[in-house]
């Protein structure tokens, strides 16, 4: 390949100004993992597990802690299978994407206690980013996955869970995290929830009976897990708001169509920019005003970003 002299000169100029530290530093996680591996390779799994236990207790990030607990469980399993399963169960509570223990995991309800949407929103935004510009970029990345396209259901569902938190709601992916329940569950107010099935890979002009039954089944799951004081609305994300004739949707169900999804994403973008541009992420009062302006309160969501369903007649 030919070498462009200007690029070579620019590259050398940039490298010439670099200064390397004389001190040597090593990542504690890397060192601990290597020491544990060496101990296990000498058939000392107890020491390997002890090393990982000490490391796990020093990690603040829940996702990283969950992964390291899984490694801890792997070494423990070499000498105590029962204890290893307990550790793996603990790992899942920190990081839902690690392996599940043999006996499975129990569902943890989204708390039913009262919360203030604006305060919850402020707390979450500050936990994500202190830099307003980075927050705008981060949220835009989440919203970019909320599209109707093929081979994208997992990213869509994760983004649908995440975007709820940026506007002050609480959320889960029960089917992904607990192997049962709806694709996404939002808590949008005190004892108020949205049970959501996301079909962003569907491009037909009617909602099938199978999809309808899936949403109905998720509603049954909700009624089993949450008591009668909790109210919920069944929600289907689909290009169409028309069920096929054979379907039997629950009364009050709502549909988030492509048009409504785009409108929601536009409102979230506007909301985040309005808060971030004036650096008011720590001001619940300002957030509350902006939530009202962009119609993102729990009382606004279904009216503005979903439509009623209808069932196709037999003819």
Mean pLDDT of the chain: 90
| Interval 240-276: pLDDT, tens | 999 999 999 999 999 999 999 999 999 999 999 999 9
**What pLDDT is attached to residue 314?**
66
| Interval 63-100: pLDDT, tens | 899 999 999 999 999 998 888 888 988 888 888 888 88
| Interval 119-155: pLDDT, tens | 999 999 998 888 899 999 999 999 999 999 999 999 9
**pLDDT of residue 1 exceeding 70:** no
**What pLDDT is attached to residue 269?**
97
When pLDDT is cut at 50, 70 and 90, the band that residue 4 belongs to is confident
pTM score, whole prediction: 0.76
Mean pLDDT for the stretch of residues 223-251: 95
**What pLDDT is attached to residue 311?**
95
Cβ neighbours for 129, distance < 8 A, ≥ 6 positions apart: 135, 138
Q: 10 versus 128: which is more confidently predicted?
A: 128
**What pLDDT is attached to residue 203?**
92
**pLDDT of residue 299 exceeding 70:** yes
**pLDDT of residue 2 exceeding 70:** no
- CA dist list (Å): 63 to 85, 92, 121: 18, 9, 21
> Is 29 exposed, middle or buried (CB count within 10 Å of its CB: 0-12, 13-18, 19+)?
middle
- CA dist list (Å): 40 to 194, 246, 280: 47, 59, 51
Where are the domains positioned within the chain?
28-94, 117-311
| Interval 173-212: pLDDT, tens | 999 888 899 999 999 988 899 999 999 999 999 999 999 9
Mean pLDDT for the stretch of residues 222-226: 95
**What pLDDT is attached to residue 179?**
85
Length of the chain: 315
**What pLDDT is attached to residue 181?**
95
| Interval 13-25: pLDDT, tens | 677 777 766 666 7
**What pLDDT is attached to residue 9?**
74
Rounded to whole angstroms, how far apart are CA atoms 130 and 302? 31
Q: Which CATH number fits domain 117-311: 3.40.720, 3.30.230, 3.40.50, 3.40.91?
A: 3.40.91
**pLDDT of residue 112 exceeding 60:** no
């Amino acid at each position: 390949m030919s070498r462009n002299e200007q690029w070579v000169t620019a590259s050398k100029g940039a490298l010439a100004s670099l200064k390397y530290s004389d001190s040597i530093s090593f990542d504690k996680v890397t060192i601990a993992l290597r020491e544990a591996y060496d101990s296990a390779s000498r058939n000392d799994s107890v020491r390997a597990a002890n090393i990982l236990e000490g490391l796990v207790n020093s990690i603040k990030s829940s996702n990283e802690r969950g992964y390291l607990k899984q490694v801890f469980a792997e070494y423990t399993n070499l000498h105590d299978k029962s204890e290893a399963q307990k550790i793996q169960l603990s790992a899942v509570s920190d990081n839902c994407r690690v392996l599940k223990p043999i006996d499975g995991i129990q569902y943890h309800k989204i708390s039913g206690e009262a919360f203030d949407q604006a305060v919850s929103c402020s707390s979450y935004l500050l936990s994500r980013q202190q830099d307003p510009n980075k927050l705008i970029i981060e949220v835009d990345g989440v919203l970019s996955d909320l599209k109707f396209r093929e081979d994208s259901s997992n990213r869509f569902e994760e983004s649908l869970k995440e975007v709820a938190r940026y506007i002050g709601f609480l959320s889960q992916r029960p089917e992904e995290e607990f192997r049962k329940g709806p694709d996404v569950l939002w808590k949008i107010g005190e004892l108020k929830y949205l049970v959501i099935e996301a079909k962003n890979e569907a491009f037909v002009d009617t909602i099938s009976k199978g999809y309808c039954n899936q949403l109905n089944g998720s509603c049954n799951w909700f009624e089993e897990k949450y008591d009668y004081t909790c109210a919920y609305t069944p929600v289907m994300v689909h290009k169409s708001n028309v069920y096929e004739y054979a379907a039997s949707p629950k009364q009050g169900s709502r549909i988030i169509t492509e048009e409504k999804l785009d409108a929601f994403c536009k409102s979230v973008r506007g909301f985040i920019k309005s808060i971030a541009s004036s650096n008011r992420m720590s001001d619940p009062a300002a957030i509350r005003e902006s939530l009202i302006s962009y119609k993102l309160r729990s009382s606004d969501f279904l009216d503005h970003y979903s439509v009623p369903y209808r069932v196709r007649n037999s003819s």
